Chain A
């Protein structure tokens, strides 16, 4: 196993390099422009645009820019944002805590809720609980997050006045009162995201459990006189978790990538919001940095998922 992990880590380096190359190529080909907001403005004449493009290094062909970028990233320097001219790393540092506080918390809540719900739904298939859970899950898939967000705002911010819908990133948590404020301003975005995460993961858990419940080994375990609870938790759940682990692991990079719609609706200054704005602005250094980090996370968590398979099912062998 140790050798396997080491080998995978070594393969990860060229993988990330290839990904970064493809990503950079896509960015270079995409028709966006750091000056698009000035397009129709006669105050910014073509010569100024040309100089700005030149000073940002945009005149070089993109393979040259890629090489320059890779060599500076290799030394840990992600460069400067075209828009704010501040170091990309500073922007990421400002935003990561917000993303984790909202998207991360929502994901953890989603996973923690989803597995028991999915399990219970499967064990008590076609019970009232199962039907309610199923209905909720499908509301979760068919109602997009932009919609749930607005519904929550109308109910809880405008009508009930319980929670604010403009996220205050300058809030410092130092006492109980400010902690309460933090909870109040995070609760709606977290709910929106957790609803979706819970719905998805619960469906997979339920379906996998259903797959395993009628199997012979379960019957055997029961006939040994094990309590139902023990059978479900110790045998069925463990065997059902493999696809769920895949899903949870695949979702973690997305946590770091932020949840764009929700961040936008509630004005949470997270990574997702930064990414989408930077794409619109053609702010390549920021976009490339976020995507690179994202790629590294995808590769790492997929590796982690593979390792977990082997833990959950000892018969899975990697060579």
Chain B
């Protein structure tokens, strides 16, 4: 009997582990252009509310809470999005979309954003109602902001409120948001998964630290197209159409079943082979499993869109083998990645990294990702081209020669060495079939250049915690690989490679610079970026920062991954994916 349990437990850890890095994306590009609701949805009058039956959504991670500000993962933000909406959504073009509470997107042109980028005025759609029939007012928005902003609430969406001085109600339908200082990132608060608006009446008695105990967390009243019918945390949410939804014809479906659990492979089977579900989220499955399923499917098709997700390899600048408390501390230097030959060795490694094979064989060449070279990607204005020639070179032999010229000579074991230091690396990542195949491919390629490679796998739950010595932020190996993504405005993302963000013992490894990279030029660029309000100059700075990270070989991007990688029923219509917001951002437009 015990055999089974030991086996069982470890197996499901695998499934847990399939959850890769990165949460949802959110907030904030330049305020120059705004887009109103586009013609993505069904033509007006195509359907009436409740025409459809049950919409079946399958997530292989199950939602555990429906308050977006207490969410601990994409599953929670997405499940709550059917009910709780922000002021506006992030559209497919990385720009705000007025498909939620706001009547229009405030811009400098329409007077909603002050010329100095300090105040933003949001107007609510007229006549908005909560699903219980009461009116939505500016007070609800102010209440929500104050709750999230209150440190005692410990909201997981709090960082979007940083630098916001106040949110006040100008009248029943208007809120004015003021930043401490001019903020080029004017949509920092209000748009996307960060900023679902809660009903004041429902949460008024559960403010601050008490918010986590609110019964409403499991049964929130919202403005979204659906209302919660039953919720079993960690299992399933069922919804009914919201009778008070602002668009009298929407939503199309009478009910929604949002089922959680299982694994990505069988979710793909449910979407493509049996057609048991209409929408299967995040099919992180090797392309050679997915492709035949899709090709032979009459029931489902892939729904993908790119955002800013990049699968990347991080290079450790500190010494992961330093003795005792010095292990991996920024005071130490990696023996060959950060020595006198550091840049040469890093460049050789990058040159010997095979991204084409990975992109083609594992991500299906555009099915779930494409070979990528930049860390900042997804917003065309920010995409650098200066890195292309560097990344296009995949030549392990030339990389070997480069090392040879620098004095790193091949030993009898096939590993290069110089002055007794061997080019032996430990390469770690999470437990995940696609990542293990990537590891195998890169190992073979690097070995050709004369690196010795030891692979290591850590379950995602352990990898993404700052309390584990195997964690990505301790980074006690030479190389590590995971995916992360950015907001449309990448300032805080880029900040994660500045000197002050170095993860180390003294800050309990809580900061974002896992590489322990330190470069004053780079720090300076990020500082400038914080202040610069001119869009063209911002784009320049962002590209410059990106180029440093790639050309100085701090990170080796492998694959630009699709942000949405879902399987949907061929009968489901009106689904337009965005790479910058919850996949459920426009669920009211879905129909059959």
Q: Is there direct touching of A and B in the complex, by C-beta distance under 8 Å?
A: yes
Known A40-B21, A267-B262, A280-B13; judge A31-B464 contact (CB<8 A).
no
The 0/1 profile, CB within 8 Å of A marked 1, for residues 462-480 of chain B is 1111111111110000000
Q: Is A19 an interface residue (CB 8 A)?
A: no
B235 touches which of A38, A260, A269 (Cβ 8 Å): A269
Residues in A whose Cβ lies below 8 Å from that of B510 = 46, 49-50
A51 touches which of B13, B154, B469, B512 (Cβ 8 Å): B154
Residues in A whose Cβ lies below 8 Å from that of B214 = 85
- The answer to whether B12 and A264 touch across the interface, beta carbons within 8 angstroms, is yes
- The answer to whether B1 and A254 touch across the interface, beta carbons within 8 angstroms, is yes
A:17-40 near B, CB below 8 Å = 31-40
Size category, B interface: 35 or more
Q: Is A116 an interface residue (CB 8 A)?
A: no
- The answer to whether B4 and A196 touch across the interface, beta carbons within 8 angstroms, is yes
- The answer to whether B464 and A48 touch across the interface, beta carbons within 8 angstroms, is no
Complex CA gap A86/B233 in Å reads: 8
A38 touches which of B23, B277, B470 (Cβ 8 Å): B23
Complex CA gap A64/B330 in Å reads: 34
Binds B, one of A126-134, A165-173, A226-234: A165-173
Binds B, one of A2-10, A76-84, A236-244: A76-84
A58 smallest CB distance to B (angstroms): 10
Residues in B whose Cβ lies below 8 Å from that of A168 = 236, 259
B264 smallest CB distance to A (angstroms): 12
- The answer to whether B26 and A158 touch across the interface, beta carbons within 8 angstroms, is no
Complex CA gap A63/B534 in Å reads: 55
Residues in A whose Cβ lies below 8 Å from that of B234 = 83-84, 91, 269, 273-274, 277
The 0/1 profile, CB within 8 Å of A marked 1, for residues 169-196 of chain B is 0000000000000000000000000100
Residues in A whose Cβ lies below 8 Å from that of B394 = none
Binds A, one of B155-163, B375-383, B399-407, B412-420: B155-163
- The answer to whether A32 and B462 touch across the interface, beta carbons within 8 angstroms, is yes
Complex CA gap A37/B76 in Å reads: 11
Complex CA gap A282/B511 in Å reads: 20
A42 touches which of B159, B273, B472 (Cβ 8 Å): B159
Q: Is B266 an interface residue (CB 8 A)?
A: yes
- The answer to whether A31 and B465 touch across the interface, beta carbons within 8 angstroms, is yes
Q: Is B325 an interface residue (CB 8 A)?
A: no
Residues in A whose Cβ lies below 8 Å from that of B261 = 264, 267, 269, 273
A:34-68 near B, CB below 8 Å = 34-52, 54-55
B469 touches which of A31, A38, A43 (Cβ 8 Å): A31
- The answer to whether B233 and A51 touch across the interface, beta carbons within 8 angstroms, is no
A45 touches which of B159, B266, B277, B462 (Cβ 8 Å): B159
B:221-267 near A, CB below 8 Å = 230, 232-236, 238, 257, 259, 261-263, 266
- The answer to whether A272 and B160 touch across the interface, beta carbons within 8 angstroms, is no
Q: Is B8 an interface residue (CB 8 A)?
A: yes
Complex CA gap A52/B230 in Å reads: 27
Q: Is B7 an interface residue (CB 8 A)?
A: yes
- The answer to whether B12 and A260 touch across the interface, beta carbons within 8 angstroms, is yes
**What residue of chain A has the Cβ atom nearest to residue B235's Cβ?**
A269
B213 smallest CB distance to A (angstroms): 6
Residues in B whose Cβ lies below 8 Å from that of A146 = 11
B38 smallest CB distance to A (angstroms): 27
CB within 8 Å: A-B pair count: 232
Q: Is B276 an interface residue (CB 8 A)?
A: yes
Q: Is B204 an interface residue (CB 8 A)?
A: no
- The answer to whether A265 and B266 touch across the interface, beta carbons within 8 angstroms, is yes
B266 smallest CB distance to A (angstroms): 7
Residues in B whose Cβ lies below 8 Å from that of A84 = 64-65, 217-218, 233-234
B64 touches which of A40, A46, A83, A169 (Cβ 8 Å): A83
- The answer to whether A44 and B159 touch across the interface, beta carbons within 8 angstroms, is yes
Complex CA gap A251/B2 in Å reads: 8
Complex CA gap A86/B214 in Å reads: 9
Complex CA gap A144/B262 in Å reads: 17
Name which of B8, B158, B277 has the most chain A CB atoms within 10 A of its CB. Answer: B8
Q: Is B533 an interface residue (CB 8 A)?
A: no
A:81-103 near B, CB below 8 Å = 81, 83-86, 91, 94-95
Residues in B whose Cβ lies below 8 Å from that of A45 = 158-159, 162
**What residue of chain B has the Cβ atom nearest to residue A201's Cβ?**
B1
**What residue of chain A has the Cβ atom nearest to residue B20's Cβ?**
A40
Query: What are some 21 contacts across the A-B interface (CB < 8 A)?
Result: A31-B468, A36-B461, A40-B23, A40-B464, A44-B159, A45-B159, A48-B151, A48-B154, A48-B159, A85-B213, A144-B7, A145-B4, A157-B269, A247-B1, A261-B7, A264-B263, A265-B266, A269-B232, A269-B261, A277-B12, A282-B461
- 9 shortest A-B CB distances, which residue pairs? A31-B468, A39-B464, A33-B465, A84-B233, A269-B235, A46-B510, A280-B461, A260-B8, A51-B154
A residues adjacent to B (C-beta < 8 A): 31-52, 54-55, 80-81, 83-86, 91, 94-95, 144-146, 150, 153, 157-158, 161, 164-166, 168-170, 196, 200, 247, 250-251, 254, 257, 259-262, 264-267, 269, 272-274, 276-277, 279-282
